[in-house]
Structure formats: C-alpha cells, structure tokens
Structure 1
Amino acid sequence: MGTTDLANLSDKLMLTTVVLYIIAMVAYAADLGFGRRRAATTADAEAEANTEANTEAKTKANAEAKAGAKVLVGAGASAKADDDAPAGAKPDEITAGSDEPARRQMEWGRLAILLNVVGWLAHGGMLTTRGMAADRWPWANMYEFLTAIAFAAVTAYLVVLWRFKARFLGAFVSLAAVVALGVANIWLYSSIGPVVPALNSYWIAIHVSAAIIATGAFTVGGASTLLYLFKARQEAKEAAGGSSALTHLPGADALDRLSLRVTMFAFPIWTAAIIMGAIWADEAWGRYWGWDPKEIWSFVTWIVYAAYLHARATAGWKGRKAAILSLIGFAALMFNFFGVNYLFSGLHSYA
C-alpha cells in the first residue's frame, strides 16, 4: 500500500472514529438518563411488591397458627412447612420481573462501550496509518497532536472503566473526544509531510508521547472533578430537602477520590515529559531551559498540580477547595496547548 493510499485510509478512519464516538456518546447519555431511571423505577416496584408479599405471608401465617392449635401435631408440622415456604409465587415473579428490566438497562451501557472500543480501535488505526504514510511518529503538528491527545483521553477512560467501573464518565469523555477531533479536522488539518528539523529526533517518541499520555489522563481527571462539583452541590440540596437531577452518579466523595487517583497517575508522567523536554532542548538548542512560553506554561501547569497533590497529602485538602485547584491546573494545561501555540511566538511555534 502506497503513501497516498495510507493517507486516504487514515482520513477515512478519522471520519469513522468521529461517527462511532458520536453514537457512543449518545448511547452513554441514554444509559445515564433512561437506563438508570428505569432501574430506579424497577427498584421501587420491587420494594412495593416485596411489601405486599410480606403482608400476605404474615396474614397467612396468622391464619395457619390459629388452625394449628386445633389439629394434630403431624398436621401442625405440615402447616409449619407450608408457612416456611414463600407465599404463592410472588417472590419468583419478582425475581423474574426484575431480571428483564435490569437486562434492558444494561443494553445502552453495553452498546456504548462496544461502540467506544470499536471507535478507539479505528482511532488507533488512524494514527498508525498516518504515521506509516509519513514514515515518522504521527504527532508532529497541531492536527496530529490534538488527535493523539483525544486518543490518550479515550484510552485513559477505558482503563478507568476497566479498573473502577466508571461508566458514568463515558458520555463526558466521548464529548471531549468528539470536540477535539472536530476542532482538529475543521481548523487544524494539515496534509502529511516531513517534520521540521528540530523535530527530527528520537526524543519526539519519548517527550511528546509522555506529554500526550499525561494530557489525556488529566482530561479524565478534569471530567471527574467537574462532576464532583455538580454532585456535591446536588447532595447539599438534597440535605436541605431538595431534589437531585444527578442520582445516576456515584457519591461526591467517590468522584473526588477518582479525580485524585487519575491525577496521581498523570502527574509523574507530566514531570517526566518536562525533564525529557529539557534534555531534548539541550541537544537541539544548546540549553536546557530558555523561558520559552511553552516551557513557562508547562512549568506553571506542573506547579499547580504539584500544589494540588501537596495540599491533599499534607494539609488534608479535599472537596471543593481541592477541586478548584485541580481545575486551575487543567485550565493552565489547556492554555499551554491552545493559548501558547497561537498567542505567543517562540521556539515551539512550529507546533
């Protein structure tokens, strides 16, 4: 397969990826809305049916107890055996009735995950074929870099899904991936070509890859932090007697812990990316640090996330204060990517 064919295949896989992510996002949203709501309705119906069954069982038990006083011991034993049995077929009917709604509830989630995984495979194929067509690592310009970050974010979500069963994040991460790929295709697309001399180094496979992985993980952590703030607010309303529109989400504390865990994973990788970038800068430009805008904002991002982790570990910060500090770090990360590349000029302007 020639270079042109690989480039065309990469573009087609990009379109396939976007379509699959959009459908997966809709399926995740349906799972959050309709599936969970149906599960709550089913639980209420089961509770009501169980109450009725218990009432009926108690009534029957009282009647049999009165009759047992007038019959032989053997007959009384038979009555006791009947009393120990479930009242009629009610419990079996409840179990059978609850399995079907639960199965239907899972359909949206399973469909979303399936589409997400297939889209992720197409996304990886898009990056692979573009790299093969260009005969280099496929993150040498803004289009490729943003596409790779979206891939890293989806990968991080799938890992969190497998590790923590956090399916509720799917709609939000899919939305972020769709927006990123849309921006990349509409405004940042560039044809396949050679890299500038400064990027023609093996360090692009180390330094840039680390930055991409960390950014993808920080994106998942940022989504968890935003959901924590919304959930904490809703829980406060519930405590005051109000109603909540986010009952499908886990508790605020669980979201807070998830955000912390993802950030703890991403921070060392971001640290390594900065260190490796300094080594690469020395090889390319003859100095480790030159206060280039990209270097400054990478360090600012590092400082904010370091303060977040330090505050949680030593000062016991958690909840809203820690969440705001985490979002400041994520905002600095986004500015480092978009703002620095378009508002400032420097040695990283080729990005």
Structure 2
Amino acid sequence: MPVNETLAQYSDWSYASAVVIYVLAMAFYLVEQALTKTKRQAARELATVGGGSETADGAPTTLVVQRSPRADRIGRMGMALNILGVLLHATAVLTRGLATGRVPWGNMYEYGSAVCLVAVVGWLFLAKKFDLRRLSVFVLLPIVLLLFLGGTVLYTPAAPVQPALQSYWLAIHVTAVSIASGLLLLPGVASVMYLFRAAYEKDGKFAGFAVRLPSADKLDRLAYRVTIVGFPLFTFAVIAGAIWAESAWGRFWGWDPKETCAFVAWVIYAVYLHARATAGWRGNRAAVINILGFAAMVFNLFFINLVTSGLHSYAGVA
C-alpha cells in the first residue's frame, strides 16, 4: 500500500505540536509549584509528620501547604494544556497509521510515540481520580525527553514495514508491549517521589520540595497498583514475543540483546511485587527496586537498539 504523504505530514506536525504543548503544560505546572507556599503551623502532636519543630514558646509545629486560588487556576490551565497535548499526540499516532495502512508502531519512532501516549493518558486518569496533579511535571519530564529523542535521533519517515514485520503478531505483541511499557513508566516516577517524601516524613529532609508531594503511603500504593496492572500485560507481551520469534526465527528464545533486557526488566518487576508483598522489604527497598525496573524499561525501550545490534535491530521494535 502506498504511503499517504499528506497524512504522514499531518502526523509529523501533530507530533511536534504535542511536544510543544507538553512543554507549555510543564511550565504551567512549575508556576503552580512556585506559587504554592508552605508555612509552619501549630500542631497538637509533633510525631504525626516529619519535619516538625517548635515555636518560641515550645509548642510543636509542622509544615503545611497553602495553595492559593491563583496557583490552582494555573494548575488547571496546565491540565487543560496537557489534555490538548494528548489529543494532538493521539492525532499523530492515528494519522501515521492511516498514512501507512498498518498499526502505527512499526519502528522505534512510532513505538516510542505510542508508549508515551499510553503513559500520558494513564497519568491523566490517575491525576484526576486520585488528585495527583501536583506530580504532573515530574511525569511529563521523562516523557518529553523521550519524545524529543524519538522525534530527532530516532525519527523515521512513514513507510511500509519490512516483510518480517508483516504479521498479525505485530499488532498483538507490540501493542501489548506499548501499553505495558507506558503504564510501567508511571510507578517508576511515583517511586522516585516516594523516596523524597519518605525522607521528609522520617527525618524532615527535602522539606521545601517534599512537603508538596502526596503522602509516602499514597505514592507507595500508587506505584504498587499501577505495577500490578502493567506487569501481567508485560508478561503477556514477552510470551507473545516468544511465540512470534518461534514463527519468524525458528526458536522461542535466543538471548538477543532486546530479549535479554526485557527478561531482566521482567525479573526486576517480579522481585518488586514480591518485595512489596513482604513486610520486611516494603518502603524504601521496594521503591529502589521499582526504580531499577523503570530504568531497565527505559533502557530497553530506546537505548538498547542504539548501542547493540541483534535480531530486533532491523526494525527497532520490542
């Protein structure tokens, strides 16, 4: 099927516009953070929150967050821009698929775009449901960086996929990987924020920054619940990839660099879920394991194809 160059051009324009809008949304979120003040307030019990101190008369105090109506308004404007960015991003993915007449994740550029779209859509749902807008700038930061990398270093013009990828397994395997990878980006960010908040609640560290974050318990539960959803999808994607590999290459598993990195990431997340369910390994230890899984996923998503060569290198897909 010939490529529709007009739709392909619209896709590229939408992609670039989405990145710009995401950056603007980040700017609004940062202004909201800057306008959100903290102050010390008398507390009945000092032990309830880390970072407390005493007033001159010895009464215990603790830091509290004060979000002004102006800060809230700017934050809502950032969320509106975020939604506009998602619409443009989805348009870029859809028009790329229509232009090529196939699923729009047949190379690294398209695949990265799909993963980031899943991550942003998933985040908007979580931010709305659990009132987590204050974390949006930290979620958008790695997504914007990955989109910028995809749109520059990894950009590929719209074209039909190579014969080896002309299989229904492309839609099954890579779709599952895209959804799972996009979801698993979110608990990684939540776990990083958890470490800051936990340090604040325990020792009062990073008070000016961490006090604006949700509670450590909330961040821990968020990371765990999203991982519970993403991990089975990732497991299915690995199994589907092995079945496709047997059909295409005559073996289920060959320790190709991308296969190996995917397996390492799978093991890390399995260890995290086990650690999170074990009382002695909850908290900081589990969060660090989840962050390692996040790093492994990002490395496998983008960088493994840039630094190694293997059976996946011809397509750049997971």
**Corresponding residue for residue 203 of structure 2:** 237
**Corresponding residue for residue 74 of structure 2:** 108
**Corresponding residue for residue 7 of structure 2:** 6
How far off its partner does 1:119 sit?
A: 0.6
| CA contact 1:304–1:328 (8 Å) conserved in 2 | yes
- Normalising by the residue count of structure 2, what TM-score does the alignment of the two structures yield? 0.85
Select the structure that is richer in helix: 1
- Alignment of 1:255 with 2:216, yes or no, is no
User: Which runs of structure 2 are paired with 1:175-190 in the superposition (5 Å)?
Assistant: 175-190=141-156
- Alignment of 1:192 with 2:175, yes or no, is no
| CA contact 2:108–2:302 (8 Å) conserved in 1 | no
**Corresponding residue for residue 53 of structure 1:** none
The CA distance in 2 between the partners of 1:342 and 1:188, in whole Å, is 9
1:308 to 253, 272, 283: 272
Q: How many residues align?
A: 288
1:207 to 153, 168, 173: 173
The CA distance in 2 between the partners of 1:243 and 1:7, in whole Å, is 48
- Alignment of 1:344 with 2:308, yes or no, is yes
How far off its partner does 1:277 sit?
A: 0.7
Deviation digits for residues 77-131 of structure 1 (CA, Å, limit 9, x no counterpart): xxxxxxxxxxxxxxxxxxxxxxxx8532321121011110111010000010011
DSSP 3-state at the match of 2:102: coil
DSSP 3-state at the match of 1:268: helix
User: Which runs of structure 2 are paired with 1:1-351 in the superposition (5 Å)?
Assistant: 3-34=4-35, 36-37=36-37, 40=38, 102-238=68-204, 243-350=207-314, 351=316
Give RMSD over aligned pairs.
1.9
The CA distance in 2 between the partners of 1:312 and 1:5, in whole Å, is 49
| CA contact 1:21–1:177 (8 Å) conserved in 2 | no
How far off its partner does 1:335 sit?
A: 2.2
| CA contact 1:139–1:148 (8 Å) conserved in 2 | yes
The CA distance in 1 between the partners of 2:34 and 2:95, in whole Å, is 37
Deviation digits for residues 238-269 of structure 1 (CA, Å, limit 9, x no counterpart): 28xx9443221112222111111111111111
The CA distance in 2 between the partners of 1:243 and 1:162, in whole Å, is 25
How far off its partner does 1:332 sit?
A: 1.6
The CA distance in 2 between the partners of 1:265 and 1:29, in whole Å, is 29
| CA contact 1:147–1:184 (8 Å) conserved in 2 | yes
Select the structure that is richer in strand: 2
The CA distance in 1 between the partners of 2:138 and 2:289, in whole Å, is 20
* Alignment gaps of 5+ in structure 1: 45-100
The CA distance in 2 between the partners of 1:243 and 1:274, in whole Å, is 41
Deviation digits for residues 271-325 of structure 1 (CA, Å, limit 9, x no counterpart): 0100111111122122211222211111111111001101221354211111111
Structure showing greater Rg: 1
Q: Which residue identity lines up with residue 307 of structure 2 in the other structure?
A: L
DSSP 3-state at the match of 2:251: coil
- Normalising by the residue count of structure 1, what TM-score does the alignment of the two structures yield? 0.77
The CA distance in 2 between the partners of 1:229 and 1:243, in whole Å, is 12
| CA contact 1:10–1:125 (8 Å) conserved in 2 | yes
The CA distance in 2 between the partners of 1:18 and 1:343, in whole Å, is 25
**Corresponding residue for residue 77 of structure 1:** none
* Alignment gaps of 5+ in structure 2: 42-66
The CA distance in 1 between the partners of 2:219 and 2:153, in whole Å, is 34
Identity %: 45
| CA contact 2:187–2:223 (8 Å) conserved in 1 | yes
How far off its partner does 1:205 sit?
A: 1.3
The CA distance in 1 between the partners of 2:9 and 2:112, in whole Å, is 19
Deviation digits for residues 155-213 of structure 1 (CA, Å, limit 9, x no counterpart): 11012113222112210122122111111122111111111112111111111111111
DSSP 3-state at the match of 1:245: helix
